[in-house]
Structure formats: C-alpha cells, structure tokens
Chain A
Amino acid sequence: MSTPSIVINVNGIEVIYNHVILVLKGVSLQVADGQIAAILGGNGAGKTTTLRSISNLLKAERGEVTKGSVELRGERIDILSTSDLVKRGVVQVMEGRHCFAHLTIEENLLTGAYTRSGKAEIAASLEKVYNYFPRLKTRRTSQAAYTSGGEQQMCAIGRALMANPSVLLLDEPSMGLAPQIVEEVFEIVKDLNQKERVTFLIAEQNTNMALRYADYGYIMESGRIVMDGKADDLRNNEDVKEFYLGMGGTERKSFKDVKSYKRRKRWLA
C-alpha cells in the first residue's frame, strides 16, 4: 500500500495565551488523507488548542502560535484566515457547540453553507443533515438557544457538514449526547469517511468510542503528545486501558468501586 499523502501536518507548535500562558509545548502530528485521527487526553491537555491552531481560531482567544508551523497538503496555512480554510474544505466544530443563538436551527445549518453556492446542492446537503439527525428536523424552526444541549451539539455538527468539508476537525463531538446519538455521530463519521473520503481529526474524551472508530491516535498531556500509535495498538496498551478506558485487567471496573487512593498515572515526557 502506498503511503497516503499527509493532509494536515502540525510541526512542533508552541502556543501561548495572553502573552504569558504557555499551553502547547511543541506538538507535532500528522493526519493522512482519508484517515480518522483522534487526539485523546485529559482536561486541559491542549486538545482544543491544537485544533484551534490548525483552523486559525486562536487569535480571537488571544492565543498565538509562537513556534512551529501548520501545513495543509504541504502549504503553510498560518497566514490564511479561518474562512479561507473553510473554502479549502477544512472545517472545525467548536467545543461547546457555539450555535447562533438567535437563529433558528435551519438558519444555523444554512449559514454553514455560507461558502458554497448552488441552491440545489445546498438543499441536498440540508436534507442529508436532517437524515443524519432527524431530531433537528423537528426543531428546525426553533431558535437555537432554546434547544437542548444535545440538540445544539447536533446542530453544530450538522452546520459543519453543510460546508461540504474534506477535512473535519471535531472538538469533543460526543459531549452531552445521549449514548445512541454518540453512536450515531461516530457512525456518521465513519460513513462520511468511507463514502466521501472526508478526513477527520477528532479531539475526544470518550476514548473508548474514539479508539473504536479512529485509525490512529495521539495521546496528549500537559501540552505535549506523550504517545501515539495505531488505534488498535493503543487500545491494547495496558496503560491506556487502565487510565483511558477504565479497565483494570480485562473487566471494566464499576464506578462505584473506584478507590479514594487511586493510583494516578502520569506519563514521563
């Protein structure tokens, strides 16, 4: 098998917020064309920050890439604006939903197609999204602010799909979703990946899910990538099992039985 071309290449980036808070300390990762890559890691590890630096959404948060570079298909994209990136097919679904509160669900979805033209195609995409998330269809005329947390999450994902992306950056897509919807979302990911060759980079806490669907995984901690490998390999790694999948030995440990003096794993990096 020939090595697939690299779509996203993050090259040793360092990110500082507010001129003082150093968050990423040299992160490098590659996503190959047609791959589903996952970034895993605890709270505050820097997953969101990594995604933001790819999609160039850092500036609004007063963050800055101070070292390293990000490339999209070999082209440096530091100088491109987010909207340029969307035009090139790179779309991010932001953590925490960020729906347009005053717009209806349908209007939210339609703004997702802002960079596209062609009424018919847009209508087709809309239909596709409604197929993926029937719940959205029933709430289409409701203002996004008045929909439930899960509905907003669907809306945010659906909105990104409306741009007809070739690379999707998903930031915690499963957060707040009911289990069967989580499943559905990942099925959609798989679907898009297989049928439309969409490349995915997913930041997830739900390690179990993410590793089931991803091809490749990166584990982040405190602003560094501490481990990476094929999803299957990671899934079978003992440490990952214990600390990310919650399995002691082979059985899943009950949440009831977690000990107060639990051993904590800290990676040596």
Chain B
Amino acid sequence: MSKKKIGDVILDVNNISLRFGGVKALSDISFDVREHEIRAIIGPNGAGKSSMLNCINGVYKPQEGSITFRGQTFKHMNSRQVAELGVARTFQNLALFKGMSVIDNLMTGRNLRIKSNLLLQALRWGPAEREESEHREKVERIIDFLEIQAHRKTPVGQLPYGLQKRVDLGRALAMEPQVLLLDEPMAGMNVEEKQDMCRFVLDVNDEFGTTIVLIEHDMSVVMDISDRVVVLDYGKKIGDGVPDEVRANPDVISAYLGTSH
C-alpha cells in the first residue's frame, strides 16, 4: 500500500440527506474520496450504503446536500451526466441485462463513446463498422482480464451468480471510469472467488489508477484492501478513517462489527 500515490479529493460528498417518506435513509452525510484510493463504506444492513451510491449516481435525488466531483458541484445530477463524468458502478442485486450475451452487456458500457448515427448503424458501413470493432477490442481485453472468455456469447441470465457479478464489474470497467462504485461485489462468493475478485479490484486500481468506492460486508476483505473506511449506521456516519482506526472505534464495534472481531 506504500507504492501507490493517493491524489487529491476527486469526489466530495457534502451533507447529504435523503428521506423516503418517513424513513431517513441518510442524514447529513459527508465524506470525501481521493483520487486513486480504495474507499470502503461499511455498516449494518439498511444503514444507507446503497442509497449513498444511488445518490452519487443520480438514481436518487437527495433532499439536501451536494456532491462535488472534480471541483464541479452538483445538487443532484442525472445518471447520464454522472456517467459522462466518468463514474461507473456495479449493483448489489445484479442489474445486468439478462437477455443479452456477456459481450453485449459489456458493449453497452461503451455506448457513451459511440459516435455513428442510426443510419450508419443500420447500414453498418464504414465508420460504424470500424467503430464497432474498436470497441469490441477494448471489451475483449476486459473479458480476458476478468477471465470470462468461455462465456462470451452466453446470455448472462444463464450464468451462475458469481460470474454474473464479474460481468457486472466488466460492464462498469468498459466505461473506462475514473471512479468505480462497487456495491457488495463479493457477496455470495466463496473464498477462492473472493480472492479472484479482490485481485481484479486491486489490479484495476493499480493499473488504471481508477478510484474505487467499495461497499462490502466481509470485514477481512475491507480491512485488507481498502485505504480508508466510512462507517454508516441508521443513515448516520459513525466512523471514518484508515482500517485500523475504524476497527478500534467503539461505536463501530458495537453497531457493526460485533465483539467477536
């Protein structure tokens, strides 16, 4: 963890509050994410972790607060803007395009970069054809990286859960994001698979310098790979710091980790 250079703040969450009717999913949350770091968000079930990502993503519109991305401040953004700014994410409950093949799922990640218009696409002529090949090449690289070559053309709905999680990651990677939000990427995996997944996350972080925000319940993973950790509980922030600090924080222990750790 020493070699790597942590940069400036890239994403800054300021006093975000989010309510659903009576439920306060997030109250007044602030934290920042620095370029190139792996930032974990942990907390008990229902603490508001996924909601936090949804706010960053523009899926939810928080009632209060703002988010600053690379110096630009937004009250709330729409998803398209966020994507254009280079934020990608994966989903807790797998939000893959079930009817499409693995390749097509990853190719959707490239959609923002498609330039040819409908007519060219219909004719598949010249630039459209070339463009398609270029993107395909990028996507193939991700496929190799995630070691899912064998499943290229399988409809993702038919893949086992763990592989679907990988495809989900692949789709986010295909966007060549600067910030990658991962919502429990290792849920439902055994140790071997978690190791694989960690390797992917670390490699992405190292090789492309991608900033990563990670939600995860497996403490060993969080403690091992993250640079800093935010802890949420019932929509409130109860801890923030490097793993060892957080591990020692009594609030965090009582709310989340339990005494056995």
Which residues of A approach B to under 8 Å, CB–CB? 17, 21, 40-45, 95-96, 135, 139, 142, 146-151, 153-154, 172, 175-183, 205-208, 243-246, 252, 254-256, 258, 260, 262, 264-265
With a cutoff of 8 Å between Cβ atoms, the chain B residues found around residue A258 in the complex are: 195-196, 198-199
Determine if B163 and A246 form an interchain contact, defined as CB atoms under 8 angstroms apart.
no
> Which residues, 206 to 226 on B, are CB-close (under 8 Å) to A?
217-221, 224-225
Which of A43, A206, A245 is within 8 Å of B162, CB to CB? A43
Q: Would you call B6 an interface residue if the criterion is a C-beta within 8 Å of the partner chain's C-beta atoms?
A: no
> Which residues, 177 to 210 on B, are CB-close (under 8 Å) to A?
184, 187-196, 198-199, 202-203
Q: Would you call B258 an interface residue if the criterion is a C-beta within 8 Å of the partner chain's C-beta atoms?
A: yes
Determine if B45 and A135 form an interchain contact, defined as CB atoms under 8 angstroms apart.
yes
Inter-chain pairs besides A43-B193, A207-B190, A245-B191, 5 sampled, C-beta below 8 Å: A43-B162, A43-B189, A176-B92, A176-B184, A179-B218
Determine if A243 and B191 form an interchain contact, defined as CB atoms under 8 angstroms apart.
yes
Interface with A: B9-17, B69-77, B153-161, which one? B153-161
Q: Would you call B65 an interface residue if the criterion is a C-beta within 8 Å of the partner chain's C-beta atoms?
A: no
Smallest CB separation, B172 vs chain A (Å):
18
Max chain B C-beta neighbours (<10 A), residue from A135, A176, A264: A176
Determine if B192 and A178 form an interchain contact, defined as CB atoms under 8 angstroms apart.
no
Smallest CB separation, B57 vs chain A (Å):
16
Given A42-B192, A258-B195, answer yes or no on A179-B158 (Cβ-Cβ < 8 Å).
Answer: no
Smallest CB separation, A61 vs chain B (Å):
11
Determine if A175 and B198 form an interchain contact, defined as CB atoms under 8 angstroms apart.
no
Report Cα–Cα, A244/B191, bound state, in Å.
Answer: 5
Max chain A C-beta neighbours (<10 A), residue from B50, B162, B217, B221: B217
Q: Would you call B44 an interface residue if the criterion is a C-beta within 8 Å of the partner chain's C-beta atoms?
A: yes
Determine if B44 and A181 form an interchain contact, defined as CB atoms under 8 angstroms apart.
yes
Determine if A205 and B188 form an interchain contact, defined as CB atoms under 8 angstroms apart.
yes
With a cutoff of 8 Å between Cβ atoms, the chain A residues found around residue B44 in the complex are: 135, 150, 178, 180-181
Select from chain B the residue with minimum beta-carbon distance to A146: B20
With a cutoff of 8 Å between Cβ atoms, the chain A residues found around residue B190 in the complex are: 40-43, 205-207, 244
With a cutoff of 8 Å between Cβ atoms, the chain A residues found around residue B224 in the complex are: 254-256
Smallest CB separation, B240 vs chain A (Å):
18
Select from chain A the residue with minimum beta-carbon distance to B260: A183
With a cutoff of 8 Å between Cβ atoms, the chain B residues found around residue A42 in the complex are: 162, 190, 192-193
Given A43-B193, A205-B188, answer yes or no on A151-B198 (Cβ-Cβ < 8 Å).
Answer: no
Q: Would you call B256 an interface residue if the criterion is a C-beta within 8 Å of the partner chain's C-beta atoms?
A: yes
Q: Would you call B3 an interface residue if the criterion is a C-beta within 8 Å of the partner chain's C-beta atoms?
A: no
Can you report 20 A-B residue pairs in the complex whose CB atoms are below 8 A from each other? A42-B162, A42-B190, A43-B189, A44-B160, A95-B161, A135-B44, A149-B45, A149-B92, A151-B45, A153-B45, A154-B45, A178-B43, A178-B256, A243-B191, A246-B191, A246-B192, A246-B194, A254-B224, A255-B220, A255-B225
Determine if B188 and A244 form an interchain contact, defined as CB atoms under 8 angstroms apart.
no
With a cutoff of 8 Å between Cβ atoms, the chain B residues found around residue A96 in the complex are: 93
Smallest CB separation, B134 vs chain A (Å):
27
Determine if B46 and A43 form an interchain contact, defined as CB atoms under 8 angstroms apart.
no
Report Cα–Cα, A177/B194, bound state, in Å.
Answer: 16
Max chain A C-beta neighbours (<10 A), residue from B46, B198, B221: B46
Determine if B257 and A179 form an interchain contact, defined as CB atoms under 8 angstroms apart.
yes
Determine if A176 and B199 form an interchain contact, defined as CB atoms under 8 angstroms apart.
no
Report Cα–Cα, A158/B251, bound state, in Å.
Answer: 28
Determine if B188 and A183 form an interchain contact, defined as CB atoms under 8 angstroms apart.
no
With a cutoff of 8 Å between Cβ atoms, the chain A residues found around residue B159 in the complex are: 44
With a cutoff of 8 Å between Cβ atoms, the chain A residues found around residue B220 in the complex are: 252, 255
Select from chain A the residue with minimum beta-carbon distance to B197: A255
Determine if A180 and B256 form an interchain contact, defined as CB atoms under 8 angstroms apart.
yes
Determine if B50 and A148 form an interchain contact, defined as CB atoms under 8 angstroms apart.
yes
Determine if A179 and B193 form an interchain contact, defined as CB atoms under 8 angstroms apart.
no
Determine if A139 and B46 form an interchain contact, defined as CB atoms under 8 angstroms apart.
yes
Select from chain B the residue with minimum beta-carbon distance to A254: B224
Which of A147, A176, A246 is within 8 Å of B187, CB to CB? A176
Smallest CB separation, A175 vs chain B (Å):
4
Max chain B C-beta neighbours (<10 A), residue from A21, A96, A154, A255: A255
Report Cα–Cα, A256/B220, bound state, in Å.
Answer: 10
Max chain B C-beta neighbours (<10 A), residue from A40, A44, A172, A243: A44
With a cutoff of 8 Å between Cβ atoms, the chain B residues found around residue A181 in the complex are: 44-45
Determine if A179 and B202 form an interchain contact, defined as CB atoms under 8 angstroms apart.
no
With a cutoff of 8 Å between Cβ atoms, the chain A residues found around residue B188 in the complex are: 43, 172, 175-176, 205
Determine if B257 and A180 form an interchain contact, defined as CB atoms under 8 angstroms apart.
yes
Smallest CB separation, B59 vs chain A (Å):
14
Q: Would you call B23 an interface residue if the criterion is a C-beta within 8 Å of the partner chain's C-beta atoms?
A: yes
